[in-house]
Amino acid sequence: MFEFQFMGTGNAGGVPLWGCDCPACEAARLDSNRQRRSCSALIRTDEGITLIDAGVAELGQLFRFEEVRRVLLTHFHMDHVQGLFPLRWSECEQRIPVFRPDDPEGADDLYKHPGVFEFRPPSADFETIELPGFSLMTLPLIHSRVTQGFLIRHGDWRLAYLTDTRGVPEQTMKRLQDEPVDELVLDCSEPPRVPAPRNHNDLTLALAVWRQSGAKRLWLTHISHRLDLWLQQGGELPDGVYVASDNLVLSPDDVA
């Protein structure tokens, strides 16, 4: 068994954005399927759950302690780690490994008081880590803090998870081109705009990364209400490009 699931597909403010009455936010208030939690994902195998980031605050209500086998952190901005803060105080004896980027500051006092979490030494760029049911390679990204993405392999199936980032470094792009990437999951916070965002992709940048990478399909995540509004008002995406939604599952079994 292997599944990749989007837990959250929103940017830091989420959708609906607090205090906003734009049509996209109003639609999300009326339809929970349009809501977007903090950008995060998980991998589900026979072994259990691997969390990719922990921005969802209610993780303890979603998973039993024994289900969570490890956490993969892209970076230490609060909307990607806030879910760890209450969980660390568990009195269970088992420790949960956390794979992290090379950021000595971390977030608040997580390093000082990790509780049940065991923060592993950072992996080298492009290092491959073998795990039960899949492997992953760490990929450097471009953001306002040290950030890493992951190239996830299960058999012949490849998924690249790249968020938060604005474009990708040249070496990371070369790795993507060298691998037959099936699913490219990419930060796309904004609709097409000039200038592009400083620390994230707009749709124009995201499409350029996808086309250069050669990936078969592109899944947009880290989405703001502005991109949702642009799509709601008639914005169109090329064939092979999809907007991810919270709880959406991708599986190698679904690939034709």
**Residue 181: which domain range?**
2-246
Contact in structure between 227 and 189 (CB atoms under 8 Å): yes
Q: What is the pLDDT of residue 255?
A: 65
Average pLDDT, the chain: 97
Q: What pLDDT, in 10s, does the model give residues 10-24? A: 999 999 999 999 999
In total, how many domains does the chain have? Answer: 1
Tokens matching residue 218: 């592109």
Q: Is residue 128 part of a domain?
A: yes
Residue type, 243: V
Q: Is residue 254 part of a domain?
A: no
Q: Residue 240 is part of a domain; what is its CATH number? A: 3.60.15.10
Q: How many C-beta atoms surround the C-beta of residue 238 within 10 A?
A: 9
- H or E segment at 98? strand 96-99
Q: What pLDDT, in 10s, does the model give residues 105-141? A: 999 999 999 999 999 999 999 999 999 999 999 999 9
Q: Is residue 126 part of a domain?
A: yes
Q: What pLDDT, in 10s, does the model give residues 220-249? A: 999 999 999 999 999 999 999 999 999 999
